[in-house]
Structure 1
Amino acid sequence: DTPVLHYLGRTDDQIKLRGIRIEPTDIETTLTRHPTITTTRVIVRNQRLIAYYMSNGQPAQESLRDFAARLLPSHMVPTDFVAIDAFPLTPSGKLDRNALPDPAPVAVTGRAPITDTQRQLCDLFGAVLDREVADIDADFFALGGHSLSSIRLISRVRSTFGVNLLLGDVFDHPTVAGVAALVDGAPTATLTRPELVASQRPELVPVSAAQERMLVVDRLPETGVAYNYPLAFTVLADFDVEAFAAAVRDVVARHESLRTVFVEHGTGFAQHILAPDTSAPIDILDDDGTPVDQQIERMTAHRFDLTHDTPLRITIIRHPDRTTTVVLLLHHITTDEWSDAPLLTDLHHAYTARLAGHPPHWKPLPVQYA
């Protein structure tokens, strides 16, 4: 007599790209407002948003991207625009996504950087895109850039040149040559930033607006483990558990966000930063014979209680072949994709130091998250 709801799937084509849910139909409807586009379909392939379109003209990809950037949020602007004569269909008459062609390779002019600004920007483009960039006319988005990597580029430009670019600047001038012109033409007043100065920290630190929203949503039963952020890697050589546990303590002591709990305070929440000797819980298990991905899935099903749990817990799985799988489970309130590199770099540095019998030697962090 108890009603049961069976979840069979979605009736729409909503997609999730880099942590953001997107309705492709919203993008498609917007793109068909372009005077030359008659029909369009948007898909995700290799973490890139690609728009396929039929048109009654031959609009340039740059003009389509500019058109989309004026009407859509940056995370909904396609990376590539591909013109096709007809959409491939399955025998049942549905769009055959697998038959859609890959975007054509990027055509480059081969102009090498000439000025110091261009050379530095080639390095910045390459660092953000994780590929070599030697052509000052190559399009940032055609090379694999997207809205999040644009923000990273803006941050690196600010750190390197002291110039504050807007997201729209990158969309309007997506080449090394274009950004170099903006940097070289920036007024002198924008080239300095106030130095960050540490302030007195209260015992309870206010949460940010984003954290407060996340804390409210996290308490809803239907949220489940949606905010869990797992990282897993396999160690092929001998693994020193004691040295690794000491390294974890070092990293947790270094990064206050890894030893922060969130308590109710007044009508909202506040951050309570625990003592530096706080450590993340570490479970050590033997391989139970089931596929490793299933074991990892079980480890990452833990639901954090952020009023008591630190937002990091670790599981170590020892396999019969002497390899070891390490699962770091973090809560999204304390980390994101940008944090992966510094976290894993510090953990590797600390583990290497502990293997050598001493604590890691690193400069104190100039600021902490607050």
Structure 2
Amino acid sequence: SGDDFAPPSTLTQSRLASIFSDVLGLERVSIHGDFFELGGHSLLATQVVSRIRSTFDVELPLGELFSSPTVALLSERLDLLHGSSSRQPALVPVDRAQPLPLSFAQQRLWFLDQLQPGAPTYNIPWALKLTGNLNADALLQSLNALIQRHEALRTHFAIHEGQPVQRILPDVRIALPVVDLRALDSSARDSEAQRIMREEALHSFDLSRGPLVHATLVRLTNDEFLLLITNHHIVSDGWSIGVIVRELAAFYRQFAGGEPAQLSPLPIQYADFSVWQRQWLQGDVLSSEIAWWRTQLA
């Protein structure tokens, strides 16, 4: 109730409360409100950690939010971390001529792929239902513009001096095959669409070659379509889907109707983050992080 609301009393609490309310989509958050009881979940928690990283210049382990899920508790942890060894190097663009390391998340997925090459276990398949007079050529242009904008979608993984590295291709273009199901009756059409979706989800990716994104357009009726997109998790995650859909729509408006996409240039790309993470997570910082996890696992 309104009587339970406790406002922030420090600058740290005020900034945290703003982050909580923005991510949760709430007008305000009490400093004693539990993030997860207010509707938070693991995907939103990663957004909070990201916002904390940029706002406070501190790398907060995700586990801290689970153990201190209120503004009041988390602000105490942040005040302790601020100025400690958790302070980060600057996240800046790096030279693409150098061998680019994998992030720790990418290295996990690359290692697992070495055990079962091409397995679909870490595919991220999703479908977008489109209605109306679709311009398939403009949609394909939009997909390729999106791939050009995001280096991760143009990345594959090679070996350099015995270690996996990211290779970013200057130009990658995918095809958009169209499967027309209009000749089938409603029941058969639904069944065939489901089969195609399953087949798309099981697409086998070669991490050493790429591209690591695949798409198919299914035409259900004259004005109903399914856009099926599958990415490998090594170049995208669940959070990425929202970005992809939003920017794909912007590019489609441009290519189908001439309206400028109006997307701001990206100041950094994922490879920059990978280099930053490797620079930060080493020495004493890495040792303390590993020690924390060993304690939890014990």
Look up the match of 1:354.
255
User: Which one-letter code corresponds to 1:272 in the other structure?
Assistant: R
Look up the match of 2:288.
none
Distance 1:241 1:342, change over 3 A: same
User: Which one-letter code corresponds to 1:202 in the other structure?
Assistant: A
Distance 1:196 1:224, change over 3 A: closer
Look up the match of 1:297.
198
Distance 1:303 1:114, change over 3 A: closer
Distance 1:293 1:132, change over 3 A: farther
CA distance in 2, matches of 1:217, 1:228: 13
8 Å CA contact retained: 1:250, 1:350: yes
Give, in angstroms, the shift of residue 160 of structure 1. Answer: 2.8
8 Å CA contact retained: 1:123, 1:133: yes
Give, in angstroms, the shift of residue 296 of structure 1. Answer: 0.9
CA distance in 1, matches of 2:13, 2:50: 17
8 Å CA contact retained: 1:108, 1:137: no
CA distance in 2, matches of 1:146, 1:186: 25
Which of the pair is proportionally richer in helix? 2
Look up the match of 1:312.
213
Indicate whether 1:179 and 2:80 are aligned. Answer: no
Give, in angstroms, the shift of residue 244 of structure 1. Answer: 1.1
Give, in angstroms, the shift of residue 248 of structure 1. Answer: 1.1
214, 229, 241: which one aligns with 1:340: 241
CA distance in 1, matches of 2:139, 2:42: 36
SS in 1 for 2:252: helix
CA distance in 2, matches of 1:307, 1:171: 36
CA distance in 2, matches of 1:177, 1:205: 39
- Structure 2 unaligned spans of 5+: 272-298
8 Å CA contact retained: 1:353, 1:359: yes
| 1:296-316 Cα deviation digits (max 9, x unpaired) | 112222211222230111101
User: Which one-letter code corresponds to 1:113 in the other structure?
Assistant: P
Indicate whether 1:141 and 2:36 are aligned. Answer: yes
Distance 1:248 1:171, change over 3 A: closer
Distance 1:309 1:162, change over 3 A: closer
114, 123, 139: which one aligns with 1:244: 139
Look up the match of 1:326.
227
* Residues 112-127 of structure 1 aligned to structure 2 (within 5 Å): 112-115=6-9, 118=13, 120-127=15-22
Look up the match of 1:104.
none
161, 164, 168: which one aligns with 1:269: 164
8 Å CA contact retained: 2:13, 2:71: yes
CA distance in 1, matches of 2:114, 2:53: 37
CA distance in 2, matches of 1:130, 1:294: 37
Indicate whether 1:280 and 2:138 are aligned. Answer: no
CA distance in 2, matches of 1:223, 1:198: 31
| 1:77-111 Cα deviation digits (max 9, x unpaired) | xxxxxxxxxxxxxxxxxxxxxxxxxxxxxx99621
User: Which one-letter code corresponds to 2:241 in the other structure?
Assistant: D
Higher relative contact order (CA 8 A, sep 6+): 2
Look up the match of 2:293.
none
8 Å CA contact retained: 1:108, 1:135: no
User: Which one-letter code corresponds to 1:279 in the other structure?
Assistant: R
Look up the match of 1:365.
266
8 Å CA contact retained: 2:124, 2:231: yes
CA distance in 1, matches of 2:98, 2:61: 36
Look up the match of 1:53.
none
Distance 1:203 1:239, change over 3 A: farther
Instruction: Give the percent of matched residue pairs that are identical in Structure 1 and Structure 2.
Output: 32
- 122-131 or 299-308, which deviates more: 122-131
| 1:209-263 Cα deviation digits (max 9, x unpaired) | 5434423432444873112111211012221111111111211111111111223
8 Å CA contact retained: 2:118, 2:205: no
CA distance in 2, matches of 1:214, 1:163: 26
CA distance in 1, matches of 2:103, 2:76: 36
- Structure 1 unaligned spans of 5+: 1-106
CA distance in 2, matches of 1:156, 1:148: 13
Aligned length: 262
CA RMSD of aligned residues (A): 3.2
